[in-house]
Amino acid sequence: MITNFKQEDIITLAIETSCDETSASILKNGREVLSNIINSQIEQHKKFGGVVPEVASRRHIENINDVIEEALTVADVSFADLTHVGVTHGPGLVGALLVGLSAAKAIAFAREIPLNGVNHIEGHIYANFIEHKQLGPPFISLVVSGGHTHLVYMEDYGKYEVLGRTRDDAAGEAFDKIARALGLGYPGGPQIDRIAKEGNPDAIVFPKAYLEEGSYDFSFSGLKSAVLNYLNTQKMKGLDISTADVAAGFQKAIVDILIEKTIKCALEKGANRVVLAGGVAANSSLREQLRTECEKNNIDLKYPPLHLCTDNAAMIGCLAYYNYIRGLRSSLDLNAISNLKMGDNY
Amino acid sequence: MKLLAIDTSSLTATVALLDGDRLIGEYTLNHKMNHSQKLMPMIEELLNSCNTKPGEIDVFAVSLGPGSFTGLRIGIATMAAMAQALDKNVVGVPTLEALAYNLFNIKGLICPIIDAQKDLVYTALYQWTDGNMVEIMEQQVIKIDKLISMLKEKSEKIFFIGDALERFSSNLEDGLGQQFAVPPFKFLIPSASSVAGVARIKLEKGIKTDIIPIYMRKSEAEVQYEKRMKGSE
Ligand SMILES: [Zn+2]
């Protein structure tokens, strides 16, 4: 059999189905992405105003084999070339996770190669390793997306300390809810980012929850209620609502608190590097202002390109590669875990 | 020709390996709904015990439903991906047909009933004629009372199998009296060797099925959405 690779090359097939993207990727030696196919279900969920778990699972099972096939074709890789299989097994929607996990286990078993089940949130951080070839730990990472808001100290590959997490809504979730209240549609993040550019962020000041002194946790439910209350009050008084100003004020409140806590955390930990990750890392205001604040404090900032911010299998493959070379293996009874915590799978 | 068959449409997890027309192994668990943890180890154990490598399997057969949505997806994702990774064929078998095949060549009618929650069942009606299993009522999701009144019009004995029997056996017995019959327990639950049996018939006849779950029901969100749309017309 003719193969395109050196014998020592590690070829990863990675699968990601934790939410509403069916994705498969082929990577060479962890950081070189040969293909990264993402089948997004955004259109299917739009009419419901958010991701419906059963609808997502149904789409995953219809798409998974085609997405895997395409990933192999684009990478010009055959099943026989694969070294191991990486897959997200949590956190996420259980029914959705199970489709990708079942397929990954089956492929690993059929081809008699190892399986590496990995944590999705951790995967978001690894999107940075794909883009920035020299980047490595230690650093502080801010992971923000529709499902998670985490402030993490990554000391080494596979070695994390979770310093803060959201106590209620994830940042992205708050974006979606406020976008819906403003009639901006789904998904909310990009819509608010876009319209906030036309608004004055200081026109309406919404409260920020700092929580108790020294805490790196987040809370966005108070902010969300404050925005909804404002909208209600204006409506009841028959006053005009400037959608752009509300979006700008709301976004500023979220971005400010994310940045303040991240910088404070980096300074206290003595970390001279911050790594941004997750779907909300695509937010232009967050990127720009975090860059400014990092420069002020002599902190190096890295973030992934837009196409690696959203859920994708390449980041899962990169993480699975590092777990593989560290000698980690998952067994065939690996389960999907909706609330999998970072560090739980070791 | 080696054929690996599974059924994970209900509480039962069942895997079977055929070599030609010989059943060389079958494992069945009827204990707990944890297919995601149990299915692959069961397949691995079965193949190991039968000294068979995954690459030696020529055909994969999977039960398509109706049944537990998640269970179906675990089974289908597993078998479709194995077949894909080995460049082999996968045959889909309707669960109700596979259940009816448990009662090969029996005299009378066969009525598999699968739990569809509330007072509903997934069901169909089959009859063996000249060694062929003929579908005399197409698969559907129906209220148990409605099914009973439809079956009352038949004169034959009716054999019931499937997981909804546990919940509705007294309703059926009250409604159907002498017509009501239940075979011994080993015939009541899905069996992967029956999935394999139906798959072999489909292969012989060249019948191709899409390898996607047979849900027979829309998702709850879809139902609610359609209601809202109707309301706003
Ligand atoms: Zn994510």
Computed over every residue of chain B, the mean pLDDT equals: 96
Residue-level pLDDT at B150:
96
**B113 sits in which H/E element:** strand B109-115
Question: What six digits make up the tokens of A252?
Answer: 């500023």
Beta bridge mates, A274:
A140, A301
Residue-level pLDDT at B232:
66
Residue-level pLDDT at B227:
87
- Please report the ipTM that was assigned to this predicted complex: 0.96
What is d(CA A111, CA A19) in angstroms, rounded to the nearest whole number? Answer: 27
Contact B60, B79 (CB under 8 A): yes
Fold of A138-303: Nucleotidyltransferase; domain 5 (3.30.420)
Share of chain B above pLDDT 90, in %: 91
Can you give the pLDDT of all 346 residues of chain A as single tens digits?
A: 455 678 889 999 999 999 999 999 999 999 999 999 999 988 888 888 888 999 999 999 999 999 999 999 999 999 999 999 999 999 999 999 999 999 999 999 999 999 999 999 999 999 999 999 999 999 999 999 888 899 999 999 999 999 999 999 889 889 999 999 999 988 889 999 999 999 999 999 998 888 888 899 999 999 999 999 999 999 999 999 999 999 999 999 999 999 999 999 999 999 999 999 999 999 999 999 999 999 999 999 999 999 999 999 999 999 999 999 999 999 999 999 999 988 655 4
B69-86 helix and B35-49 helix, angle to the nearest 10 degrees? 40
SS3 A184: coil
Write the pLDDT tens digit of every residue in B61-93.
999 999 999 999 999 999 999 999 999 999 999
Residue-level pLDDT at A346:
45
Residue-level pLDDT at A46:
84
Residue-level pLDDT at B230:
83
Distances (CA, A) of B215 to A95, A262, A335, B220: 15, 47, 23, 12
Residue-level pLDDT at A59:
96
Residue-level pLDDT at A343:
66
- Whole-model pTM: value is 0.95
Residue-level pLDDT at A330:
98
Residue-level pLDDT at A1:
45
More confident residue, A323 or B223: A323
How far away, in angstroms, is A143 Cα from ligand 1 center?
Answer: 9
Q: Do A111 and B219 touch (CB under 8 A)?
A: no
Residue-level pLDDT at B71:
98
CA atoms within 13 A on the CB side of B6: 28
Residue of A12, A331, A122 whose CA lies nearest to B36: A331
Distance from CA of B153 to the nearest CA of A (A): 38
- List the domains of chain B with CATH numbers: 2-96+189-221 (3.30.420.40), 103-187 (3.30.420.40)
Q: Do B219 and A55 touch (CB under 8 A)?
A: yes
Q: Do B74 and A98 touch (CB under 8 A)?
A: yes
- Which of A47, A65, A333 is closest, CB to CB, to B40? A333
How far away, in angstroms, is A346 Cα from ligand 1 center?
Answer: 20
Assess A55–B contact: CB distance below 8 Å, yes or no.
yes
- Which of A68, A106, A334 is closest, CB to CB, to B78? A106
Q: Where are the domains of chain A?
A: 11-125+309-325, 138-303
DSSP alpha helix (H) spans, chain A: 42-46, 53-75, 94-111, 120-131, 171-181, 188-196, 221-236, 243-269, 284-296, 313-325
Q: Do A79 and B85 touch (CB under 8 A)?
A: yes
- Which of A95, A106, A334 is closest, CB to CB, to B70? A95
Does residue B233 register a pLDDT over 70? no
Residue of B nearest to A62 (CA): B212
CB crowding A123-154: b at 16 or more within 10 Å, else e: bbbbbbbbeeeebebebbbbbbbbbbbbbbbb
Residue-level pLDDT at A4:
65
CATH of domain A11-125+309-325: 3.30.420.40
What is d(CA A188, CA A88) in angstroms, rounded to the nearest whole number? Answer: 25
Contact B35, B53 (CB under 8 A): no
Residues of chain A neighbouring B40 (CB-CB closer than 8 A): 105-106, 109, 332-333
